[in-house]
Amino acid sequence: MLPFIQSFFVVAVLAVPLILVWQWQRAQALCLPPGPKWSWVAGVDIPKLYPWRTYTQWKDEYGDVVYIYAFMNSIVVLNSIEAISDLLEKRSGNYSSRPVRTMVQELMGWDWLFSSMSYGNRWKRHRNLFQKHFPINGTSEHHPLQIKQTHALLRDLEHSPTEFSHHIRRTAAANVLDITYGIHIDEKISENGDDYVKLATSAILPFSRAGIFGTYMVDYIPALKYLPLWCAPFKRKAKEWRKPAQALVNRPFEVVQTKMENGTAIPCIVAHELDDIALGRGTTDLQVVKNVAATTFAAGADTVVSALQSLFLAIALYPNVHDKAQKELDRDIGFRKALAVFPNVWAVFHDPELYPDPFTFNPDRFEDNVIGKGLSASGVNEIPNAAFGFGRRMCPGRWFAFDFLWISVASILSVYKITEATDVNRHPIDLIGELYSSGLVSHPLPFKCQIEPRSPAAKALIEETNMEA
């Protein structure tokens, strides 16, 4: 055995018992919430797949606030909107940071993702730059592009409806690439455009798998990152996954730099900030611009994808909701040309006290005829904050994302009929087993559905968008 490895294991063997004793004494000294029993060796066994379901089960036994001790890490899980609000909003100054996820941030190279940065001046510089370009009341300037890309999506769905998942990814990537880097993706997938969609997918999927803290042991025991490559399979995976993560940061950014040198750059976030830096007008440094741009690309190319894929899944499974939504749209808009603290959001949205019968797809639950606290003038409940985070770490791009989702969902349901896929005998193909993936962003697992224009008038309207392109 190599001297380094011998020394490492000797130190580990001597240090671990001492650390465990210290942790146990520390835990006894604190007034901690109740939680599952833990062992001296591993603490609590937390499932790597769908951990939020286990957290929700523990809520019934231990309450809204659950303490977990896992591999020398103390974790508090919040299982209700009240508990989340008390800690992450009312006391956000104490609970606005993030645990360091050694696997994704250090080994996989996602240290540029500002939503995962620890709370402090570095995070504030990144968030301020993002909010500068996506202010709460300033997202309407992006509506023309969002409408244009939605129209392209409608045409794609007519040409090849079975590829709906890919069309959704293309549309989401096209939105953020245009706004952030001034890069246009042709709807008739060009080789270059397809490369960007593939780049986003190849970088984001591994991140989603590894992004939940504790998925890999190195998150709990950071010293494991010093193990040599040959005896650390997780490091070999991280090395492979690091390449697309770094390409996501560098490749589109370098395209803008080259275009600016050639005088061919079009207005976009990166070009605007690089101009300010060159003219000495801004205080933001180059790396912050690069990081914020990449975060915008990564977030915008994934989270809305899951939401739109979920639309197709839900509408195919619940035709009564589909019909009602189309009637609403026809009536309203017609056929117009135009510690480590973990908030368990899954538990919040499946809390029967907030949402009775939570496992039933019932959009009517978000509508109320009585205007009052938490309701808009239309009688529709306000967007649940839990969908976008809490306190100082709430998603700053939520208004841009919500605008795009509204435009896309309303447009799709206005012109398309979405139903369950059928077999050769025209019998519906039942979806069985898990419907969603486990990961930092949970996506519908691959499924089939039938997508077709709902009428000749709808088909004509889709074709009219070609004249606007």
Q: Assess contact for 66 and 55: CB atoms under 8 A.
A: yes
Could you give the angle at the alpha carbon of 59 between the alpha carbons of 53 and 65, nearest 5°?
115
Which run of H or E residues covers position 407? helix 398-415
Give the pair of three-digit tokens for residue 239.
Answer: 């090395």
Bridge partners, residue 419, by sequence: 450
Q: How far apart are CA 179 and CA 287, in angstroms?
A: 19
The whole-angstrom separation of Cα 239 and Cα 152 is: 37
Task: Classify the phi-psi angles of 433: left when phi > 0, otherwise alpha if psi is within -120 to 50, otherwise beta.
Answer: left
Phi first, then psi: what are they for 331, rounded to 5°? -75, -40
Q: Are strands 416-420 and 449-453 parallel, antiparallel or unpaired?
A: antiparallel
Between CA 177 and CA 299 the distance in angstroms is 11
Q: What's the gap between Cα 325 and its chain centre? A: 26
Give the whole-angstrom CA distance, residue 186 versus residue 181.
Answer: 15
* DSSP at 224: G
Q: How many CB atoms are closer than 10 A to CB 298?
A: 22
Is 395 among the annotated ligand-binding positions?
A: yes
- Residues of each annotated binding site: 395
- Residues of each annotated binding site for heme: 395
